[in-house]
Amino acid sequence: MATIHKGFIDKRFHDSFKDTGLNDVDIATTKMYKGVKPMWKQLGFVPEDQNINPYDNPDRKFYWQNIIPKHYKFTSQHIEGIIEEFVSSGSAADGSKIPRTSYWKIIIDENSPQSWRGVNPLTNGKTYYYPEIPKLDKFGNFTNIIASGSKFYGSKTTWDEPDDSAMIKNLDDNNPDLILNIDFDQTTTTDLIDKTNLSKIHYNQDFEVSLDDDLRLKTDSLIIPDGIEKNNSEQAF
């Protein structure tokens, strides 16, 4: 059978995003701007001094990419001030007939800064900094103690608040360079609109084609608009 169409995908770029964080995202906002918008600015970082930008400088600990790896946990390997001691099995404790079993004893130093361990290879020898979170008490619970001079990620002013004002998440962005801003607050994909009113959104779906009795192409699929899930707990990520 003769080839009708080879598709729009350029195989030269297949797996371009392999082994990157771009394979694990939920695109809640789709925007396009005129010019270049560096990532630190999209994330909402605002330099206090226009002549010194610590968020775009790998020499500074506040560099926007100075984030702990995804496998990091609250263990002595990853956080200062946490001590793990292995207590081996032994004879029964006084007053008990049951032999003691082995276990790990975790000690949390409340006087430690409890900083992240490890050097970030994306920086020039800086230890991991983000996320900046409160210290742990000896029971492993978060306290209200935040290190002096802390910088929270993006446009956040506290460690646990939502970050909806950053360019990358702001649904009401009015940046003058914005030329496309798709509004997903709709019921189906046919209702998608560009909030800048500069473009008309047309949602394409896959469909099957065949030849009719007159050897003309016809669509064999019933095209039904896709629904848009608005419940965060039901979404992919």
Instruction: Note whether 173 and 133 are same-domain residues.
Output: no
Same domain, residue pair 71 and 152? yes
106 shares its domain with 205: no
Element (H, E) at 33: strand 30-33
- Point out the domain boundary residue: 160, 184, 204: 160
Q: Are residues 76 and 187 in the same domain?
A: no
pLDDT digits (tens, 9 = 90+) for 43-84: 999 888 878 899 999 999 999 999 999 899 999 999 999 998
| Residue 178 reports pLDDT greater than 90 | yes
Q: Which domain holds residue 132?
A: 38-160
Q: Is 121 in the same domain as 198?
A: no
49 and 131 in a single domain? The answer is yes
- The residue among 160, 194, 215 that closes a domain is 160
**189/206 Cα distance (integer angstroms):** 14
Q: Is 191 helix (H, G, I), strand (E, B) or coil?
A: helix
Rounded Cα distance, 78 and 68, in Å: 9
Task: Check: CB of residue 83 under 8 Å from CB of residue 18.
Answer: no
Bond from prior residue into 99 cis (ω within 30 degrees of 0): no
Domain identity same for 142 and 91: yes
Task: Please indicate, yes or no, whether residues 45 and 26 belong to a single structural domain of this protein.
Answer: no
Per-residue pLDDT, 4: 63
Using alpha carbons, select from 16, 130, 163 the residue that is nearest to residue 62. Answer: 130
Q: For residue 90, what pLDDT is reported?
A: 65
pLDDT tens figures, 89-125: 765 555 555 666 888 889 999 999 999 999 999 999 9
- Same domain? For 22 and 47 the reply is no
Res 29 pLDDT > 90: no
223 vs 99, residue with greater confidence: 223
Widest Cα–Cα separation across the chain: 94
Element (H, E) at 39: helix 39-42
Predicted local confidence at residue 118, as pLDDT: 95
* Total number of domains in the chain: 2
Q: Which of 112, 138, 160 is the last residue of a domain?
A: 160
